[in-house]
Amino acid sequence: MASVLARSILLRQQTSAHRIGYTTPLKIKSCYISYAAAPKEKSPENYTRYHEVSAENWRFVERLIPPTFVPSYPKNGNYSSDWTPPADTPPNLPYFVKRTKNYMVPVYLKFEEVRNERKITIIRHIEGDIWVLEKAIKSHLESLSKRPVVSQVHEVAMHIKFRGDYVNEVKKWLLNAGF
């Protein structure tokens, strides 16, 4: 089949170029129809090369491997950023906002494009009575901004959304509350 196809292509080249005596060589790529017709796989030594590293050079490899756990935060009290550690005892409230695995307050800013670009503040990792928390934060934000704040409570996913960029205000409120 491949030889018939090669002859027809060769004939087309000869007649289109109007040079009967001159032909260009064709390189036909072999295509295997079945797995059995394909060339067999060679041994792994043909594909991989490796060499062993001495034990004294292993320390350079170890620093590239990520840690398997998050270390605890330092207890000294001097922090270069605005970060504050969680309180030793949680506040006695009907709700609780758990920190992330990196000890950060779980308040995020999300950009949604509905008609225009909207800024949405999201609070995640909420446990307990989510409605009481939403009411407390909403009244705090309304007193700061002097206008009504639109919020949405998602009881199943246990997060609250506020329309607008209130990330810093919500973080300060949660830290002052003892989370």
Domains of the chain: residue spans and CATH: 1-39 (no CATH), 95-177 (3.30.780.10)
Residues 141 and 149: their CA atoms lie apart, in Å, by 7
pLDDT tens digits for range 56-73: 888 888 888 888 887 787
pLDDT tens digits for range 71-123: 787 777 777 777 888 888 888 999 999 999 888 899 999 998 877 788 999 99
If you average pLDDT over residues 22-35, what whole number do you get? Answer: 63
**Of 123, 120, 122, 124, nearest to 164 (Cα)?**
120
As to burial, measured by CB atoms within 10 angstroms (0-12 exposed, 13-18 middle, 19+ buried), residue 80 is exposed
pLDDT tens digits for range 109-154: 999 887 778 899 999 999 999 999 999 999 999 999 999 999 999 9
> What is the pLDDT, as a whole number, of residue 36?
72
Binned at pLDDT 50, 70 and 90, residue 48 comes out as confident
- Cα dist from 105 to 79, 122, 136, 173, whole Å: 16, 11, 17, 11
